[in-house]
Structure formats: structure tokens, C-alpha cells
Amino acid sequence: MIYHRHFQLKKYNAFQTEAFAKIFCEPATIEELRQAILDYPQEQKLVLGAGCNLFFTRDFDGLVIKPNFKGLREMPDQEDGSILVEVMASEDWDSFVAHCVENGYAGLENLSFIPGSVGAAPIQNIGAYGAEVKDCIQEVVALDMATGQSLSFTAQECEFGYRDSIFKRTKKYIVISVVFRLNKSFQYVEKYADLNQELSELEQPSISDVREAVIRVRKRKLPDHLELPNCGSFFKNPYISAEIAEKIKSEYENLPLYPVEGGLLKTSAAFLIDRAGFRGIREGNVGTYPNQALIIVNYGTADGNEIVRFMNRIRDAVNQKFGIMLEPEVWMF
């Protein structure tokens, strides 16, 4: 395995900001991964997937590991009508979803067209159109970066939450593979208004109808990160108290609210950003996408700090207007 020094990371992050890794490697096997950890015990480490949810504000003074673990293994059908599929971390997420849909393995179709790798999916428990990946995860196999030991986590041990997991909180593990439990039969369940609307003319949408509808809706709403660099939703949707919700509703009656745990309500970060005057705004080389205020886009800066400054302007404006401090979903290094 080659260790690259002073390695340019621009094409390894979806915002395409420029930064150099002190050391960069792409282990293709678990042995190579262990060797990299042994070779550089003192260096801080960063694991890279496809870079769709992170960007750089400065050079990374340590070892960047971009695993290159490929492969997919289907296990025999289970008695309850499900199938287990183990997928290696570096497989492309959407190609895997396409494979499931083609074979009639149900559960992940609402998560179609999310860019990134399979290994990153459990990190923030990716979600879209009323679905979260946690609901199809049976097990995550990961390597402890401190000890080199490989461990297996049940879905419960992954401690999944909204855009959250044990992997995200501890930053201690490298995901090697994910085992999914998928259904061999499909029945469309209405979960999300935009998607229901898109499928409204079909009496019994098939699993392929759902995937195609998700892709159509996403293409209409979201910019392609390869054409207009972005990391998708920049902020998490905030959880707020009933009291704050009532206060905002007195001015904005149509504030979206969904009950969540602990008596709190989840609201829409895009709605708040929009009402704070930041939809379709451009400042220098950075802006929010006109069709979706939650997406920050890079119109041409190589400096991640410009994105951070713009992000802070949005956070301050939303906080001043609504008393809510938005939390970034995107990782900044």
C-alpha cells in the first residue's frame, strides 16, 4: 500500500475545497488497514468515504484513510421472508439501493439517490422521505482504530438516533461492512407527502415506481454536487419545545411540526432559514440553493472558511429571529 505525502483533498470532498493531507492511504484489505494504524500510531486519523458530507477548512495534519473495501454477499433467505445482505463499506450507496430494487429487496427504496458510500450510511443514520437506514440494519462490522480489533455491533449497539450513531459520537471506529435485513415482499406505505403526491396516480406503486419517484423529486429539488458543489442538507432539523413552537406559530401559522421523543417537536430548518431571509442568497462565492434553503452551495471558493463564515451568518440570523441555534449536519475539518 502506498502512503502519499502532502496529498490534495479537493476531489475527495463534495464542496471541493482545497486542503492537503499530511499522509493519505487507501487500504484495500483489513490487513492493510491494520498495518496503516500500526505504522502511524501517533497520527490523528480521518476516515473518508465519498466525501459527500464533509469539507476541509485547513490542511489535515495526520493520516487520512480512504478504505477501498468492495463486495456484496447475499445470505440464504430467512424464515420470516427477509434476506440478509452484507455489503462492504466502499461500495457506492445508490448502486446498492438500485441492486436491491432490481431484485425486489424492499426497505431502502426511499433512500434512493443519496450520494456516498455504504460504510458512511450508518455513521449519521442517513434518512430521507420518511425512512432511516437504521430500520434495515442488522449489524455493522467495524474496526477499533486504537486497538486494530474488529467488532460487530447489533443495530441496538449502534445507538442510532436522528442523524446520529455511536460511530458519529465516538469517532473511534472504521466501518468495514454493513449487514442489511431486507424484505422479499413489497407494499407501499405512505410516509412522506411529496412522495405520496408524486405517486398519487398509481393505485399500487411497485418498488421500482417508488425508486423512480424519489429520484424525480430529488432531481427537481436538489443540486447535483458534481455540477454545483454542495453537501446536501447543511443543518439538522431542530427539535424544539412546545413553547417555542407556539411562539413561532403565532407569526408563522404553517410552521411544520412533527412530534418526536421527550415531548419535543421537530421542525424544518429550511423553513426557518427561508423566513430568516436566507433562501437563494449569495455572498461572494457561497450561497443557499434557490429551490431549497437548507442547502449551502459553493459557487467557486477553494477556501472552506468562506463556507464556515456563511454558515455562521445563517445560524446567527435564525437564532436572532427564532431563538434556535441550528446544528450542522455536515462535518468540517
Residues designated catalytic: 163, 233, 329
| 230 lies in the binding site for ligand FAD (CB under 6 A) | yes
Q: Please, what is the minimum distance in Å from the beta carbon of residue 184 to ligand FAD?
A: 25
| 50 lies in the binding site for ligand FAD (CB under 6 A) | yes
| 27 lies in the binding site for ligand FAD (CB under 6 A) | no
User: How many residues sit in the footprint of ligand FAD (CB under 6 A)?
Assistant: 33
Among 27, 232, 238, 287, binds ligand FAD (CB under 6 A): 232
C-beta of residue 112 within 8 angstroms of C-beta of residue 148: no
Give me 153's grid cell.
455491533
Among 181, 225, 236, 315, binds ligand FAD (CB under 6 A): 225
C-beta of residue 86 within 8 angstroms of C-beta of residue 179: yes
Task: Give whichever of 52 and 324 is closer to ligand FAD, judged by the CB atom.
Answer: 52
Q: How far apart, in Å, are the Cα atoms of 186 and each of 81, 100, 106, 205, 321?
A: 11, 12, 6, 9, 44
C-alpha torsion sign, points 264, 266, 269, 275: negative
- Helix 93-103 / helix 207-221 crossing angle, nearest 10 deg: 150
Give me 64's grid cell.
487520512
| 114 lies in the binding site for ligand FAD (CB under 6 A) | yes
Give me 175's grid cell.
466501518
C-beta of residue 79 within 8 angstroms of C-beta of residue 97: no
**Rounded-to-5 percentages of helix, strand, coil across the chain:** 30, 30, 45
Report the distance separating Cα 217 and Cα 210, nearest Å.
11
Task: Give whichever of 85 and 111 is closer to ligand FAD, judged by the CB atom.
Answer: 111
| 326 lies in the binding site for ligand FAD (CB under 6 A) | no
| Number of CB atoms found within 10 A of residue 302's CB | 14
Q: Please, what is the minimum distance in Å from the beta carbon of residue 103 to ligand FAD?
A: 22
Report the distance separating Cα 286 and Cα 17, nearest Å.
12
Among 16, 36, 49, 318, binds ligand FAD (CB under 6 A): 49
Task: Give whichever of 14 and 207 is closer to ligand FAD, judged by the CB atom.
Answer: 14
Q: Which of residues 61-100 bind ligand FAD (CB under 6 A)?
A: 67, 89
* DSSP strand pairing (150-154 vs 137-144): antiparallel
Task: Give whichever of 199 and 217 is closer to ligand FAD, judged by the CB atom.
Answer: 217
Among 40, 162, 239, 331, binds ligand FAD (CB under 6 A): 331
Q: Please, what is the minimum distance in Å from the beta carbon of residue 69 to ligand FAD?
A: 8
Q: Encode 246-285 in three state secondary structure.
A: HHHHHHCCCCCEEECHHHCEEECHHHHHHHCCCCCCEECC
Task: Give whichever of 248 and 269 is closer to ligand FAD, judged by the CB atom.
Answer: 269
Q: Please, what is the minimum distance in Å from the beta carbon of residue 17 to ligand FAD?
A: 13
| 287 lies in the binding site for ligand FAD (CB under 6 A) | no
Pattern 147-166, ligand FAD, x by CB under 6 A: --------------------
Q: Which of residues 124-143 bind ligand FAD (CB under 6 A)?
A: 124, 126-128
Task: Give whichever of 115 and 304 is closer to ligand FAD, judged by the CB atom.
Answer: 115
Q: Which of residues 254-283 bind ligand FAD (CB under 6 A)?
A: none
Give me 286's grid cell.
457561497
Residue numbers at the binding site for ligand FAD (CB under 6 A): 14, 46-54, 67, 89, 114-117, 119-121, 123-124, 126-128, 167, 174-175, 222, 225, 230-232, 331
